[in-house]
């Protein structure tokens, strides 16, 4: 590692597993102090024990505005400032089709995937402004935030809205020296992804291996993605290397959204069903 984030303080929401955990580990390795925000308290405690004093775990339900405000305050109290906000927490949301979706499921999905990102911007930007510094905000969008057909209606709408938050942030926050960018992962095997296909948490890693073997060759780059593929791009966007980059959504999908998707969406569902029947 190169100390790319030396002397930086970051928050990573959804930081106890998957993309969030990979990013926490990479941020720490690059010299950052990191507040890990999640609702998986035992996992959070174990990660802090493993990574040491450069980390802090804060129980945070990102659908609760007061919890996000408290998260920022706890981070600053512990580490003295905030430089980076990674709005990453999420889940699959309401799986209903557009013909079946209801208000309750849709609202819960947007609260988790979109409103939390907007409020993460709000409280991080207020802290940056009070410090008299700029800062970097990174948010997890999705290939489903760029194209239709990757997921269910609620998730697709919510992730498209994340891209909108990032663009609006340029208009309002760029004059304050605050950058906002998003990452749009493609098929990245994480526990959340496994659950969305009905795979038990303890089977997430074997399922990822199965899916990589079965479907990697269908991707333009020849493999499925990993959580660390996303963490590396998050590290770049968080760092000073990206100090003239704001308002962009970077697909990290092996080229999938650059070409016609073909049958991959149905292939992955079929593969998951086959796996679960083993």
Q: Which runs of consecutive H residues, i.e. helices, occur in 2-135?
A: 18-29, 41-51, 65-79, 103-110, 116-131
Q: Which two tokens stand for residue 36?
A: 């890990």
Tell me the CATH number of domain 9-188+225-256, given options 2.60.120.260, 3.40.960.10, 3.40.50.720, 3.10.180.10: 3.40.50.720
Flag residues of the chain having pLDDT under 70. Answer: 1, 191-196, 260-265
Task: Write the DSSP assignment of 76-99 as a string of letters.
Answer: HHHHS---EEEE----------TT
Residues recognised as catalytic: 155
Bridge partners, residue 84, by sequence: 10, 136
Instruction: State the pLDDT at residue 187.
Output: 81
The 10s digit of each residue's pLDDT in 20-65 is: 999 999 999 999 999 999 999 999 999 999 999 999 999 999 999 9
Residues in the chain: 278
Element spanning 218, H or E:
none
Neighbouring CB atoms inside 10 A of 169's CB total 23
First to last CA, the chain: 41
Instruction: State the pLDDT at residue 162.
Output: 98
Instruction: State the pLDDT at residue 199.
Output: 78
Instruction: State the pLDDT at residue 196.
Output: 67
Instruction: State the pLDDT at residue 275.
Output: 86
Domain spans in the chain, listed from the N-terminal domain onward = 9-188+225-256
């Amino acid at each position: 590692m190169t100390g790319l984030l030396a002397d930086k303080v970051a928050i990573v929401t959804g930081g106890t597993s998957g993309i969030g955990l990979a990013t926490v580990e990479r941020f720490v390795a690059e010299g950052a102090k990191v507040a890990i925000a999640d609702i998986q308290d035992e996992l959070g405690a174990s990660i802090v024990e493993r990574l040491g004093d450069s980390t802090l775990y804060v129980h945070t339900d990102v659908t609760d505005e007061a919890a996000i405000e408290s998260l920022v305050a706890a981070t600053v109290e512990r580490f003295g400032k905030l430089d980076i906000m990674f709005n990453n927490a999420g889940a699959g949301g309401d799986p209903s089709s557009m013909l079946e979706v209801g208000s309750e499921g849709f609202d819960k999905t947007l609260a988790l995937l979109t409103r939390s990102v907007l409020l993460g911007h709000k409280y991080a930007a207020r802290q940056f402004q009070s410090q008299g510094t700029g800062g970097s905000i990174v948010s997890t969008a999705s290939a489903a935030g760029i194209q239709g057909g990757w997921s269910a209606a609620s998730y697709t709408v919510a992730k498209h809205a994340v891209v909108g938050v990032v663009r609006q942030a340029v208009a309002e926050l760029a004059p304050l020296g605050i950058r906002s960018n998003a990452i749009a992962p493609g098929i990245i095997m994480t526990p959340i992804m496994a659950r969305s296909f009905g795979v038990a948490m303890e089977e997430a890693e074997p399922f990822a291996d199965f899916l990589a073997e079965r479907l990697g060759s269908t991707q333009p780059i020849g493999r499925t993605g990993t959580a660390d593929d996303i963490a590396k791009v998050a590290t770049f966007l968080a760092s000073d290397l990206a100090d003239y980059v704001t308002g962009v959504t970077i697909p990290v999908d092996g080229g999938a959204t650059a070409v016609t998707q073909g049958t991959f969406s149905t292939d992955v569902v079929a593969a998951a069903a086959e796996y679960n029947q083993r």
